């Protein structure tokens, strides 16, 4: 049996799996199920907290007292990191792509409420220098006698990916309980760590279903390289050398739209219709784009050989509030 790293407990697990009783027949394709990782907690809601349970455990084992991480101004990961730090009684520093002039709404408001220290950087700095900037902050804190720990974007690294290694084992148990097997597991891909954990676990567990990522930024080739890198980092923790090819990493390209965290009218319309149809709220950055992409692919007949699909809802509802002006809602 493979021994994985230890973690702390921050999330409400296991999360339930529900069948989408109205969307499935409407699309006329496979049965679609949804795993409610948006219900991992309120402040820590979403997929990031599964990864943080492992990353924060490593930080605490190293005696760290400050968490440093990065993301966009509406980053779910940064909000979950700020909440995790507050919950265990340590500090957090968030390096955010954006401006101090932004309205405190959504995740940004929650970050401030949780007491995170925020440093804004430009999009260019974020793209080219975020690692260097976090290292500089770490050095500044060390000079003050603190013991900081850097968590990369999305906690998408070797240790973080074990959050979805354990989620895969959770799904296997739930399949048995539900009496159903998922031909495909579909997720939104934004930094690669969620897919990496699922992929590594599927290889070690001998899972026969395939994992598909729908990228919400960059392109399929970028994610194949990123996931390959993270999986190989993870294998060093468990002293396992699995043989796999990047061709086994399945990405569905074509749904980035206007770009990361930028929304098209058709995506916002889909989020609205999905909420009315299933009573479930998707977010505009990750799950809205990915579920919209899955629905479009089913309409095209690209999943016609599948009987059951599991979509993992990775959270992000707070990110809806800064985009509320993009919805056309009926007046009461």
Same-domain check for residues 314 and 204: yes
User: Which of 130, 154, 178 is the last residue before a domain boundary?
Assistant: 154
CA distance from start to end of the chain: 57
Full DSSP string of 35-84: EEGGGS-STT-SSHHHHHHHHHHHHHHTT--EEEEEEETT-HHHHHHHHH
In whole angstroms, give the CA distance from residue 246 to residue 42: 35
Structure token pair of residue 200: 């590594």
CA distances from 256 to 96, 110, 220, 262, 293 (A): 21, 26, 11, 9, 9
Q: Output DSSP code: residue 216.
A: S
CATH number (domain holding residue 233): 3.40.50.1100
User: Which of 154, 178, 211 is the last residue before a domain boundary?
Assistant: 154
Same-domain check for residues 95 and 184: no
Same-domain check for residues 23 and 161: yes
Instruction: Specify if 257 maps to a domain.
Output: yes
Q: Is 195 helix (H, G, I), strand (E, B) or coil?
A: helix
Same-domain check for residues 150 and 293: no
In whole angstroms, give the CA distance from residue 263 to residue 85: 31
pLDDT at 1: 78
Task: Name the residue range of residue 245's domain.
Answer: 17-46+157-326
Same-domain check for residues 170 and 38: yes
Same-domain check for residues 111 and 200: no
Same-domain check for residues 150 and 161: no
For the segment 262-284, the average pLDDT, to the nearest whole number, is 97
Same-domain check for residues 245 and 306: yes
Instruction: Specify if 269 maps to a domain.
Output: yes
Instruction: Specify if 332 maps to a domain.
Output: no
Consecutive H or E run containing 19: strand 17-19
Instruction: Specify if 164 maps to a domain.
Output: yes
User: Which of 107, 138, 154 is the last residue before a domain boundary?
Assistant: 154
In whole angstroms, give the CA distance from residue 181 to residue 164: 18
Q: Among this protein's residues, is 99 annotated catalytic?
A: no
Same-domain check for residues 174 and 281: yes
In whole angstroms, give the CA distance from residue 134 to residue 250: 32
Mean pLDDT of the chain: 97
Q: 274 pLDDT band (50/70/90 cuts)?
A: very high
Task: Give this prediction's pTM.
Answer: 0.96
Among residues of the chain, what percentage have pLDDT more than 90?
96
Same-domain check for residues 198 and 83: no
pLDDT at 332: 60
Which residue among the candidates 75, 196, 234, 263 is catalytic per the annotation?
75
In whole angstroms, give the CA distance from residue 326 to residue 164: 32
């Amino acid at each position: 049996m493979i021994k994985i790293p230890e973690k702390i407990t921050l999330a409400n697990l296991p999360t339930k799996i529900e069948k989408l009783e109205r969307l499935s027949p409407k699309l006329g394709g496979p049965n679609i199920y949804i795993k409610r990782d948006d219900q991992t907690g309120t402040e820590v809601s979403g997929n990031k907290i599964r990864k943080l349970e492992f990353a924060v455990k490593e930080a605490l084992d190293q005696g760290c007292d400050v968490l440093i991480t990065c993301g966009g101004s509406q980053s779910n990961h940064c909000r979950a990191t700020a909440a995790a730090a507050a919950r265990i009684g340590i500090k957090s520093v968030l390096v955010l792509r954006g401006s101090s002039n932004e309205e405190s709404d959504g995740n940004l408001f929650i970050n401030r409420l949780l007491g995170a220290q925020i440093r804004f950087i430009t999009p260019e700095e974020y793209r080219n220098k975020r690692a260097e900037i976090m290292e500089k902050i770490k050095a500044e804190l060390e000079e003050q006698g603190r013991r900081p720990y850097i968590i990369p974007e999305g906690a998408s690294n070797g240790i973080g990916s074990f959050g979805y290694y354990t989620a895969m084992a959770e799904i296997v148990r739930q399949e048995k309980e539900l009496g159903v097997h998922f031909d495909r597991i579909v997720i939104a891909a934004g930094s690669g760590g969620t897919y990496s954990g699922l992929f590594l676990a599927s290889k070690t567990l001998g899972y026969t279903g395939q994992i598909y990522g729908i990228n919400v930024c960059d392109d399929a080739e970028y994610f194949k390289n990123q996931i390959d890198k993270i999986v190989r980092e993870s294998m060093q923790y468990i002293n396992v050398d699995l043989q796999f090819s990047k061709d086994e990493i399945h990405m569905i390209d074509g749904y980035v739209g206007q770009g990361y965290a930028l929304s098209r009218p058709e995506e916002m319309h889909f989020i609205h219709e999905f909420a009315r149809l299933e009573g479930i709220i998707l977010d505009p950055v990750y799950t809205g784009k990915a579920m919209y992409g899955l629905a479009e692919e089913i309409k095209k007949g690209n999943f016609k050989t599948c009987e059951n699909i599991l979509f993992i809802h990775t959270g992000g509802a707070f990110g809806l509030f800064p985009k509320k002006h993009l919805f056309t809602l009926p007046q009461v």
